[in-house]
Amino acid sequence: MLLAIDAGNTHIVLGCFEGDSLRFTARLCTDRAKTRDEYALLFRSLFDLHHVDPGSAEGAILSCVVSELTDILCQAAAAVTGKNVLVVGAGIKTGLNIKIDDPGQLGADLVVDAVAATEKYPKPMIIFDMGTANTMSVIDREGRFLGGAILAGLRLSVDSLSSGTSQLPRIQLAVPKKVICSNTVECMQSGAVYGHAAMLDGLIDRVEEELGEPLAAVVATGGLARMVVPLCRRKISVEEDLMLLGLKLIYNKNR
């Protein structure tokens, strides 16, 4: 059994693999104030909830974009499983050919997403990860990571809109029935979700222009992908567990 942990800015996702199958997944709120012991209690409670013995874990792997939590989460996972935790970072074998200006700047989450997507989908491809920030990663026909784009995520965008204006409220994210809306809340929802869908379609078109060939696959992951992708006009495959799959693949490459 393998424990895979994806720690993002908003949520921490745990996945427990038995062989190639996910025994369970769980999602926690990322809390920078929590201690090692508090996270260990949460991890242990999730194992108990799903009737899994954490002592049966053969190992654990972590991808973390919140630097101050990396050691805390490693210690918490080690306390629960009794195993050392492999951290995605410098010196880890990924098999990914990174062709950006400074490969050391590439976030662990983007590496893990790319490893999983290139294993499962044909190339060239785009990978969208839709979380607190939206990221776009481009992989060419030869499997090289060329780079991409970073932009504000859906929730961050609407929160910035409401906090930066005097009359716009904080809203719940939802898909209105039409693009042209007739009240403030639905107008903001329309701008957020349909605007992001149009943005993904536009980025896909522009990437194909730069590559000089059509994409073989476009993959989306992250907590808000299922809300936005159905509104897109281009074909995009949603992979909710892409990060966990990538962590498992990287763990196997470093055994």
pLDDT digits (tens, 9 = 90+) for 114-149: 999 999 999 999 999 998 899 999 999 999 999 999
pTM of the model: 0.92
Catalytic residues: 109
Check residue 213 and give its pLDDT: 97
Dmax over Cα atoms in the chain, in whole Å?
Answer: 57
Quote the CA–CA distance of 14 and 109 in Å, as a whole number. Answer: 14
Check residue 167 and give its pLDDT: 87
The domain segmentation of the chain, as residue ranges, is: 2-87, 97-240
Q: Using one digit for the tens of pLDDT, what is the confidence trace for 8-46? A: 998 999 999 998 899 999 999 999 999 999 999 999 999
User: Phi-psi region for residue 143, left (φ > 0), alpha (ψ -120 to 50) or beta?
Assistant: left
Nearest to 173 by CA among 188, 151, 162: 188
156: its two tokens: 């961050």
In CATH, what is the architecture of 97-240? 2-Layer Sandwich (3.30)
Asked if domains 2-87 and 97-240 share a fold, the reply is yes
According to CATH, the superfamily of the domain at 2-87 is ATPase, nucleotide binding domain (3.30.420.40)
Check residue 219 and give its pLDDT: 98
Check residue 55 and give its pLDDT: 87
Check residue 104 and give its pLDDT: 86
Residues in the chain, pLDDT under 50: none
